Structure 1
């Protein structure tokens, strides 16, 4: 198996499964195909026919995951729109932002009279009006006919993996990643391109001049990269062992869709092959559809509900909390080292300092080892926090790995002298993040923890995944993060859900976090000007904003600069670290060390005896308010 590109194998085998189980036409009907939105970020729409093609009646509708489009559909992505579409004739189409295309053919047909399914040719013909697409279709097959037509020429393939990208008004580039394809210019010139090769098409309508270049054609990374699809569909490899599962129901279960696939044209084109039979469309759809279950039970919270929740809370003044006697989350939650007395003392100090909330990392490994005891200890912490006037944000997963070791339940090593947060381990282990065979236990953990506390007023909101993609995992964490949202939504908790954006704010993973979260959460350790710029960007979502982690005194990210900013923008917040202890957050990390102030505390607010590191900071916490009238 070609482990380096599982997408190609998926496309190769999905064609077989889809022919057998997906298209499912009525007896005697033309076996038409469809393109299903399997994953997306940002804004994308589709123009579909609402009646027979010859009548020309169309409408524009918003796309969402699970939406299915057919032949003659015109797909359009916005500035931040990205799509991954699974085509039932046997390919995956990745659509970049600011792209417009029309599916000319999506069907199983034949040259002459077919005697069996083996005689059917799977046709995917796309007219690319602008922008760029990636096609993943696997090993070439004589029964697969793929064409991508541009203004300057056409790409023809019987499989392969390739990119077609507009470069300027009159130029189009073609990059062949695997196998081979043909490029035909407007003047009929043809060239064969092998894996690793590239071609450039040119056509001037004014001059009626066409050119095809295949020598010394540079591959432009910004045109070649398809961030969302590269990550998301590499994770579909489990289907290769169960190709019959990749029918509509199988794909829907994999995606965790709350509703079945939705045919965007309402069946308008099913019998359009007949010149006589022109039935009325039986399904009336609104011009725009939300993502499945938006604003409904089990779905993303609507804006009105979310703002009502946020405004009745008052300012959230929080801290990311680990007791001073714990070196990491495992030591915090294990039965033998769970230190309720210290927590009681420290949360009392936090209450006097003005904190109204704490954000706490849970531990999948401790739950796995002792689920009942773990839940009892979580309940105990909630009670202690409530006693001292704080609500709790439980964090279910975490990719932060400072120790470079897998999480193991049991006695934890002592902190490395003079080193910041030296024993922090992720949860779950990186191996579990990418291994779907381990996910059933992760699902059970998420659902069991959330089900116990889903109506508990002591829980402020659920943070599903801290720094997803950290410690070198990158976007390998995206599928697990996405699935965690699905598991969490199924619980229908009374508290909102969030995953904080923390890195690469223009990337697919961040877009996915923000689109699936109820409230907008982010982490910001930059200087105040950068954080403010980020806030202006995040305000576009028109949802409450919480900064779930901040404080880096040596860079100017401190209480004097950040709290006024949060006040003006009405941002709830959680600074990093409460009491100096075994995590040693007060020690500056080497990469952020200040030569001018090497002894300045990086993080933590209180000394080990509960006294403030800086009295003024406590005064600022106690006095923090949202700027009046700035709603």
Structure 2
């Protein structure tokens, strides 16, 4: 079991041109994964948070395992442990068309499993099998940092689904901790009786530095009261203007990455953390996409969007790479459509 005092320096990782987890595993490229994990080591990261794909597992379980094994082995050889998330709740409703869409203006992250599955407990047998499959293969695999059962359940029925999946995982738990991606620290209490080991919370775009710092301290207190470690597993940048969640845009070029605005607070707090995201990508969620949001540190060629950001995250003022504040060619349609010049 991971020590509560362990210092986690991590990033969310989705391969550069994948818009959802299904695409990442269906289009899996070993050379790309090896390259990107190399980039992570340059930032002195020791963990990556990723999504597996229940939908791809339904189609190709052995191929998913083969590809996941490759990622785990490469990462572990570089001193990086993986926290996979099994299900997703904060994205767009899933359709087959959305799973496959690659148009940067319309492609989206999708919820997993289907909403009709979540809403009908009689349909949970296959999702239970997926959780059991993961736990049987990886519950004591030292290449894993933790197993995140689900990300951001946010309705009563999704919480009920999450509790059932956590309960199944807890019964099969080995030496690897289990956890749930939560927006607020207090939401972790919904699973405390089931035996989750790590608390999480998210704060992507705070509007004030003090409130961000206060939230970290308050979350640490919540976790301390119940004797659990807690990590902030999504953070990005300070946005003093419009936040951008609903496609309303942002102010003062706050659409672009600027991790340096929060990095010192995160580091000084001593909390385990994952920033979003390792690779320069258009926003994961469609509302932020329509606000022109771009996030990430590394372009595919190894240049960085912001040298200042890379230095702040790595903790080394001497970090050096070419700086390139240009949108990737394959994603330019987003900036041309949604960012006001």
TM-score by length of 1: 0.43
Say if 1:362 and 1:489 are closer, same or farther in 2 by CA, change over 3 A.
same
- Where relative contact order (Cα < 8 A, 6+ residues apart) is larger, the structure is 2
CA distance in 2, matches of 1:446, 1:322: 21
* TM superposition shift of 1:585: 5.3
CA contact (8 A) 2:283 2:289 kept: no
Equivalent position to 1:536, from 211, 217, 230: 217
CA distance in 1, matches of 2:68, 2:297: 24
CA distance in 2, matches of 1:352, 1:522: 26
Q: Does 1:324 align with 2:16?
A: yes
SS at 2:167 equivalent? helix
Equivalent position to 1:406, from 95, 106, 117: 95
Partner of 1:468: 153
CA distance in 2, matches of 1:348, 1:366: 26
Equivalent position to 1:589, from 261, 270, 288: 288
Q: Which has the larger radius of gyration?
A: 1
* Per-residue CA distance 1:403-424 (angstroms, 9 max, x = gap): x4335797x121333x6xx321
Partner of 2:160: 479
Q: Does 1:352 align with 2:42?
A: yes
Say if 1:514 and 1:530 are closer, same or farther in 2 by CA, change over 3 A.
farther
CA contact (8 A) 2:10 2:48 kept: yes
CA distance in 1, matches of 2:49, 2:304: 20
SS at 2:133 equivalent? helix
* Per-residue CA distance 1:518-573 (angstroms, 9 max, x = gap): 12211112233333232233213313220111114544895334232223332111
Equivalent position to 2:269, from 569, 576, 579: 569
CA contact (8 A) 1:365 1:408 kept: no
Structure 1 unmatched ranges of 5 or more = 1-304, 625-631
CA distance in 2, matches of 1:577, 1:377: 21
CA distance in 2, matches of 1:372, 1:440: 19
Q: Does 1:622 align with 2:303?
A: no
Partner of 2:244: none
Say if 1:532 and 1:343 are closer, same or farther in 2 by CA, change over 3 A.
same
CA contact (8 A) 2:188 2:200 kept: no
CA distance in 1, matches of 2:259, 2:280: 17
CA distance in 1, matches of 2:294, 2:17: 19
Partner of 1:253: none
Q: Does 1:518 align with 2:197?
A: yes
CA distance in 1, matches of 2:201, 2:312: 22
CA distance in 2, matches of 1:487, 1:407: 28
* TM superposition shift of 1:325: 3.1
* TM superposition shift of 1:458: 0.8
CA distance in 1, matches of 2:11, 2:235: 9
Partner of 1:489: 170
Query: Number of matched residues?
Result: 294
Equivalent position to 1:450, from 128, 132, 135: 135
CA distance in 2, matches of 1:550, 1:475: 25
CA distance in 2, matches of 1:586, 1:606: 19
Say if 1:338 and 1:310 are closer, same or farther in 2 by CA, change over 3 A.
same
More strand by percentage: 1
Partner of 2:30: 340
CA distance in 2, matches of 1:395, 1:386: 18
CA distance in 2, matches of 1:588, 1:436: 30
Say if 1:498 and 1:587 are closer, same or farther in 2 by CA, change over 3 A.
closer
Say if 1:490 and 1:511 are closer, same or farther in 2 by CA, change over 3 A.
closer
* TM superposition shift of 1:604: 0.9
CA RMSD in angstroms, aligned pairs only:
2.7
TM-score by length of 2: 0.77
Structure 2 unmatched ranges of 5 or more = 241-253, 317-341
